[in-house]
């Protein structure tokens, strides 16, 4: 039997921080908005219907984590995704959640004896 090496504390900490960044709903909304193209802060504020300060706070966290990059044009700051792995992680989790929901729906249909929704 092969023994598993313990993960160093610093690695666990960095993993936790990365997943923590992606655990914030507003950050996931912003990432989704940036999936296809870069956007300026004002576009993100309008799309999320929240304050500029709130959007900027979340952009700063994702920028510092290396998930986003930023460029300036005049007085506007434009952000784009620099770490496509974040989308892959979200897709994996979404697919897993969808499978669980489908399984739960099958259990409910089995319980009621109905195979289709009325």
At a CB cut-off of 8 Å and minimum separation 6, what does 37 contact?
80
Burial environment of residue 79 by CB neighbours within 10 A (0 to 12, 13 to 18, 19 or more): buried
Does residue 116 carry a pLDDT above 60? Answer: no
**Res. 1 pLDDT band, cuts 50 70 90:** low
Does residue 113 carry a pLDDT above 90? Answer: no
Contacts 24+ apart (CB under 8 A), 96-100: none
At residue 39, φ and ψ (nearest 5 deg) are -140, 155
Contact, 26 vs 48, CB < 8 A? yes
26/20 Cα distance (integer angstroms): 12
pLDDT digits (tens, 9 = 90+) for 76-99: 999 999 988 888 998 999 999 999
Q: What is the mean pLDDT of the chain?
A: 91
pLDDT digits (tens, 9 = 90+) for 19-70: 999 999 999 999 999 999 999 999 999 999 999 999 999 999 999 999 999 9
């Amino acid at each position: 039997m092969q023994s598993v090496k313990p993960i160093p504390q610093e690695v666990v900490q960095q993993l936790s921080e990365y997943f923590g960044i992606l655990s914030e709903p507003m950050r996931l909304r912003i990432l989704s908005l940036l999936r296809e193209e870069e956007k300026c802060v004002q576009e993100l504020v309008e799309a999320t219907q929240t304050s500029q300060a709130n959007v900027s706070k979340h952009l700063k966290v994702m920028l510092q984590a290396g998930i986003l990059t930023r460029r300036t044009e005049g007085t506007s700051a434009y952000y784009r995704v620099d770490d496509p792995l974040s989308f892959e992680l979200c897709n994996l989790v979404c697919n897993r959640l969808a499978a669980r929901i489908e399984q739960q729906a099958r259990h409910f249909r089995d319980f009621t004896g109905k195979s289709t929704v009325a």
